[in-house]
Chains A and B, each alone.
Chain A
Amino acid sequence: MSKRVGLEASFAAAEAARMANVDVIAAYPITPQTHIPERLAEMVANGELEAAYIPVESEHSALSACLGSAAVGARTFTATAGQGLELMHEVVYVASSMRYPIVMTVCNRALSAPLSVWGDHSDAMAVRDTGWIQVFCQNNQEAFDMTLWAFRVGEDSRVLLPVMVHFDGFSLSHVTEPVILPEQEEVDRFLPKFQYAFALNPDKPMTHGAFGPPDIYSETKVAQEVALRKSKGVILQGWQEFGDVFGRYYDPVESYKIEGAKLLLLTMGSFSETAKAAIDTKKDSGESVGLINLRLWRPFPFEELRQAVKDAETLVVFDRCISFGGPVGPVCSEVRSALYNEKKRPAVVSFIGGLGGRDVSVKDFEYVIDRGREVAQKGSKELFEMVGIRGQVTGIRG
């Protein structure tokens, strides 16, 4: 029997790694991710988890140790946040291009300066193009579910890619919610052992990480790009089978009350739950609105997004990161680009808010919906609008 327990998302992720029976954990503590390595270190010390816990001196080393671990075919887990992910940056690319299926939790955190330990999506957006499979969690149950699923998908011999599981720092990482924990037997049924055909072995030497001169580098990048895009099939299959075992089914693009809606709001991560409340209030007062929660970030779910927005007149995208000097918020940019060639497409309006832990309330989302509709109809001089900023924001012009 599965059991329902109160867990913060950090503990849910650690629990998922334990039930996945990871072989190696290499992580460096950083707020707001700290509870994950702490809990895993405790499990290893108490004998609840038979794994090697590698204490390292930095995040760069943490992910480097993970490369070595994955290279010998060990199930490998790490976690980081904000500045830690930045320090890892160089190795983040290495993990995906060497096709090591490391699973990494990122407790999304703003980037310095000014120093902020609180949440937004700047860290995630800075690793957007690193070649990892990436998903965003809405709540603590998803933090558990996506972590388990990440091992299954990443380690699949048809995929062999690292997976980043994003959830919001503090608002999920440190908040306790009910989480349904499965039986070990169910987890074992869902998640086979990691069997890596190219595991380093002194008895059968081979070369990992050969260099790539100009006459081969481009070919390696094409192979990597095609692999990431092709992983979509296994991603969908993984969610289907996850649902069949655990009863919770997931989609790359989650739709909430979108049938016939003229205006759609698009959000990611924990803000989607707040935004749903705003949709409910708006719907109660007779407005034609709905919500899209973008769960799968890489590979980008083009088809599912187009399908979800095809009948809408307006699509309001809410970002938690600024693309400095760029067109709109980074998510909005991609959404617009994904729809650009469609004959019939909604007007896409960009909002940015919730930076560095700033709360965005149900009322704020109601405002975003109203203002988004107005901008779609009348236009605006600004490329995007910031939510909840003191002082009128002008000068964001293209």
Chain B
Amino acid sequence: MAKKKPKTVSDLTWKDLEVGNIVKEAGGASARKTGDWRTERPVLDKEKCTKCALCWLYCPDAAIKPTEEGYYEADLDYCKGCGICANICPVGAITMTQEEEQ
């Protein structure tokens, strides 16, 4: 419906919306950085981490991604700071630390 693809939601007029506000692609939320209201961030201690991937499995936001070295690290663009990963980690490799005011 939209003539040229607008960059953000704020560029859309009511005429640009699909019927019922359907978004024709899946996973559209990844285009919006949703981690900016986090108050605590998970910090990984690689010394302790056993690469078991439990944090990756449990993160409710799918914000934890495998790294090339085989570790699992939170993508802070999306991490909400809920602390579930720190809680589930069997070896205490993740510590929740206060976000500093930027």
> B-contacting residues of A (Cβ < 8 Å)?
97-100, 160, 198, 205-208, 210, 212-213, 215-216, 219-220, 222-223, 226-227
Q: Chain A interface secondary structure, helix, strand, loop or mixed?
A: loop
B9 interface neighbour in A206, A216, A222, Cβ under 8 Å: A216
Whether the pair B18, A220 counts as a contact (CB closer than 8 A) is: no
Which of chain B's residues have a CB closer than 8 A to the CB of A207? 22-28
Contact with A along B79-99 (1 / 0, CB 8 A): 000000000000000000000
Q: A198's contact among B10, B22, B26, by CB below 8 Å, is which? A: B22
The one of A205, A208, A213, A216 in contact with B20, judged by C-beta atoms closer than 8 angstroms, is A208
What's the Cα separation between A206 and B24 when bound, in Å?
5
In this complex, the interface size class of chain B, counting residues with CB under 8 Å from chain A, is 10 to 19
* Count: A-B pairs, CB below 8 Å: 57
**B17 on the A face (CB < 8 A):** yes
- Closest chain-B Cβ to A372's Cβ sits at a distance in Å of 42
State whether the Cβ of B2 lies closer than 8 Å to any Cβ in chain A: no
Closest-by-CB residue of A relative to B22 is: A198
Across the A-B interface, give the 7 residue pairs with the lowest CB-CB distance, nearest first. Answer: A205-B26, A99-B20, A207-B23, A219-B14, A222-B14, A98-B20, A223-B14
The residue in chain B whose Cβ has the minimal distance to the Cβ of A97 is B20
- Whether A210 lies near B10 (C-beta < 8 A) is no
For the complex, give the distance between the alpha carbons of A223 and B15 in Å: 7
With both chains docked as a complex, state the minimum distance between the C-beta of B86 and any C-beta of chain A, in angstroms. 27
Q: Which of A160, A206, A216 contacts B25 (CB 8 A)?
A: A206
Contact assessment for A206 and B17 in the assembled complex, using a CB-CB cutoff below 8 Å: no
* A206, B22: Cβ atoms closer than 8 Å: yes
Q: A207-B26, A207-B28 are in contact. Are A220 and B9 (CB under 8 A)?
A: no
Contact B20 A219 (CB under 8 A): no
A215:B19 contact, CB within 8 angstroms: no
Contacts of A223 in B (CB 8 A): 14-15, 17, 21
Q: How far is the CB of B19 from chain A (nearest CB, A)?
A: 5
Chain A residues whose C-beta falls within 8 Å of the C-beta of B43 in the assembled complex: none
The yes or no answer to B67 lying at the interface (CB within 8 A) is no
Given contacts A215-B9, A216-B9, contact A210 B14 (CB under 8 A): no
A198 and B21 contact, Cβ closer than 8 Å, known pairs A207-B26, A207-B28, A213-B9: no
- The CA of A70 and the CA of B23, in the complex, are separated in Å by 17
Indicate if the CB atoms of B28 and A160 lie closer than 8 Å: no
**Could you tell me the distance between the alpha carbons of A97 and B24 in the complex, rounded to whole angstroms?**
17
